[in-house]
Structure 1
Amino acid sequence: MTQPPSFAVISGAQVHAAVSGREREVTAMIEAAYRLHGAGRTVNPDSYFLRFPDEPANRIIALPASVGGEVDVHGIKWISSFPGNVAAGIPRASAVLILNDTATGYPFACLESSIISAARTAASAALAAARLADARGARPRRAGFFGVGLIARYVHTYLAANGFAFDELHVHDLSREHAEGFRDYLERTGSGAVTIHDAAEDLVRSSDLIVFATVAGEPHVTDPKWFEHNPLVLHVSLRDLSPEIILASYNIVDDVDHCLKANTSPHLAEQRVGNRDFVAGTLYDVLTGTATPPADRPVIFSPFGLGVLDLAVARHVYDRVTESGELQTVPGFFHEMKRYG
């Protein structure tokens, strides 16, 4: 008789232990997931947004996905973004992720997923930065962080782990207190001289690699002239840049159909011109040599954030926790296992 399936719960502490210090390994997982996605060995439906008419800043998003290859798992991430949490002293985003067995469909694990989400976002950004910069012939030495929350910290960590070294670091945030906190973090890492900029333009013009990691709901950076020094831009938060800046740049996305939705900056650019010709290709195209970014234009990477990336990291975490002997299962989680009682 087949044994009833087990169901495990993996805490944030266990997730952190499984990915911390393994940034290059996680980045390699993300690259492998992108290659599977580009080769058609994933299923990644549209994300589903739960919004609240009386609280337009808040949302909860469902990201279902399936990954083949060695990952071999189905699943879904359920992630909330409540910006008001920051003022209350807790992180803006919280998330859980469910893994489903590909043979039976049974869910077999629930993982705390804000760390998984931050790690996969940062690994995706660092992977793109490395491949795009190397294709342009030089890695930037001046980095700017526009928005300084958890994602910005993770992106910096993953950039450093993937061989980026900066002489200058520039910081801009609407909150001076948060900017100073991020400056203190950067100084503790010994990453280079850190400057806080009150003016957004000063940060952009001072940086050859710019990380946008804000909670902006619509474009607030609008002047293409700020980018006339042709920086590499990691547009992680997706809605910071005006259509004019997008249209004046060389654009790489992680998935065209996913990225050009929900009024992202590239989606607004598409609405402006009525076509997608301004998209040069995907990160998969860069990885396979189909797309080569120029050195004489701004290069913008806009990742929508694919559920398949979350599953790849979550499967790794599950396997590591299992191997450690610390997997905590819930006895009797599946109860009605006999068809007729």
Structure 2
Amino acid sequence: MLILGAEDVRQALAGAEHEIIEAVRRAYLLHAQGRTAVPHSVFLRFPDDQRNRIIALPAYLGDDTPVAGVKWIASFPGNVTEGLERASAALILNSMATGRPQALLESSTISARRTAASAALAATTLVSETSETGASLIGCGVINFEVLRFLRAALPELGTVTLFDLDRARAASFTERCAELWPELKLLVADTVEDALAAHRLVCLATTAAVPHLTTSACRPGTLLLHLSLRDLTPRTVLAGVNVVDDADHVCREATSLHLAEQLRCNRDFISAEIGDLLLGDHPRKRDEERVTIYSPFGLGILDLAVAALACRRADTLALGTRLADFL
């Protein structure tokens, strides 16, 4: 078995943004073609604790070299105040020849980067008549930092970023980190979430919100809202937008904003498309220039498999990780 720790994974995926986006794109295409298996995620919650959870995401990806596996990811938002990352994860890849586990990877980096790659892919698939030169990031944590990394790879014309976080110190720290890594970027910190929503027509929500609290009334017409945290927008706001998801059955669960919208509407007719179906087309989809387009990806386990498999291939080339010959 190949074991890749956190630093091994980071080294294996360093500078691989375009390869990761392509791996995510191919996973969505395979899903649209019926060449995947994605059982519903299992949410482990705890008595008298509605904030913390651990989720199991089993999946099968029927690519040219098929693979199965499971990600076990914990979300403990209180970690942030203790100086720890909110999420931690481990991922097991199984051989489809023998069923035996063949790799164990630290997976918080994989989880963050596949989420960011999905956001960047949506930004280049749901295009506007005018190119996006600015973006607003709401929530100054790991996910939006990776989103910025991947948006810069996918949209090289991106030059201005407006940030907002309820914690001003986190926003300041985020700004400093971005300025150090990308000194050419113009970085602004908004005073209110409404100011951030209005600043650009490309907006990413990556917060720890547990219940809906936002509308898109401050957004410009034609905005693309990357709703990664899934629980920020009120149900009526969702119903008013043009909704694109990765998988309707998965995203309409566990009290997400779309799940609540489904309960309000009593159907899923408000979802206009799944991204895999759009990718099967020959051209990017022009988004509505008058309404807000909302992209809400659940984060399918096949994306984790695709990026983990890529990390293993690159780790093998770089001689990274530890091989355990007698695991079984």
TM over 0.5: yes
Residue aligning to 1:163: 155
Distance 1:145 1:190 in 2: 17
Residues 130 and 139 in structure 1, CA contact (< 8 A), matched pair in contact too? no
Question: Does 2:250 match 1:258?
Answer: yes
Residues 147 and 173 in structure 1, CA contact (< 8 A), matched pair in contact too? yes
Residues 165 and 191 in structure 1, CA contact (< 8 A), matched pair in contact too? no
Distance 1:56 1:199 in 2: 27
Distance 1:293 1:324 in 2: 41
Residues 239 and 270 in structure 2, CA contact (< 8 A), matched pair in contact too? yes
Please point out which of 275, 282, 296 is paired with 1:283: 275
Cα deviation for residue 102 of structure 1 reads 0.5
What is the identity, as a one-letter code, of the residue corresponding to 1:218?
Answer: V
Please point out which of 215, 221, 235 is paired with 2:214: 221
Is the partner of 1:144 in helix, strand or coil? strand
Provide, for residues 307-339 of structure 1, a one-character-per-residue CA deviation record: whole Å limited to 9, x for no partner. 0000011111112222333442224221xxxxx
Is the partner of 1:275 in helix, strand or coil? coil
Question: Does 2:121 match 1:127?
Answer: yes
Residues 234 and 257 in structure 2, CA contact (< 8 A), matched pair in contact too? yes
After TM superposition, the structure 1 = structure 2 runs for residues 186-335 of structure 1, keeping only pairs within 5 Å, are 186-188=178-180, 189-222=182-215, 224-289=216-281, 292-334=286-328
Residue aligning to 1:63: 57
Q: Which moved more, 1:287-296 or 1:191-200?
A: 287-296
Residues 17 and 117 in structure 2, CA contact (< 8 A), matched pair in contact too? yes
CA-based RMSD: 1.5
Question: Does 2:96 match 1:102?
Answer: yes
Is the partner of 1:98 in helix, strand or coil? strand
Cα deviation for residue 246 of structure 1 reads 0.9
Q: Which moved more, 1:302-311 or 1:46-55?
A: 46-55
Residue aligning to 1:13: 7
Distance 2:86 2:279 in 1: 32
Is the partner of 1:58 in helix, strand or coil? strand
Is the partner of 2:218 in helix, strand or coil? helix
Cα deviation for residue 220 of structure 1 reads 1.1
Question: Does 2:162 match 1:174?
Answer: no
Please point out which of 8, 18, 24 is paired with 2:18: 24
Provide, for residues 45-94 of structure 1, a one-character-per-residue CA deviation record: whole Å limited to 9, x for no partner. 10000011222210000000001122411100000001111111111100
What is the identity, as a one-letter code, of the residue corresponding to 1:93?
Answer: A
Distance 1:115 1:19 in 2: 9
Cα deviation for residue 9 of structure 1 reads 1.1
Q: Which moved more, 1:169-178 or 1:302-311?
A: 169-178
Residue aligning to 2:139: 147
Unaligned runs of 5+ in 2: none
Is the partner of 1:333 in helix, strand or coil? coil
Provide, for residues 277-325 of structure 1, a one-character-per-residue CA deviation record: whole Å limited to 9, x for no partner. 1101011122123965322211110000000000011111112222333
Provide, for residues 109-159 of structure 1, a one-character-per-residue CA deviation record: whole Å limited to 9, x for no partner. 1100000101100101000111112xx322222211110100000000000
What is the identity, as a one-letter code, of the residue corresponding to 2:296?
Answer: S
Distance 1:180 1:74 in 2: 41
Distance 1:129 1:72 in 2: 28
Count of paired positions: 325
Residues 221 and 289 in structure 2, CA contact (< 8 A), matched pair in contact too? no
Distance 1:242 1:191 in 2: 36
Distance 1:277 1:332 in 2: 52
Distance 1:111 1:284 in 2: 26
Residues 141 and 208 in structure 1, CA contact (< 8 A), matched pair in contact too? no
In terms of fraction of residues, the more strand-rich structure is 2
Residues 10 and 111 in structure 1, CA contact (< 8 A), matched pair in contact too? yes
Is the partner of 2:118 in helix, strand or coil? helix
Residue aligning to 1:42: 36
Is the partner of 1:57 in helix, strand or coil? strand
Residues 37 and 61 in structure 2, CA contact (< 8 A), matched pair in contact too? yes
Distance 1:292 1:71 in 2: 34
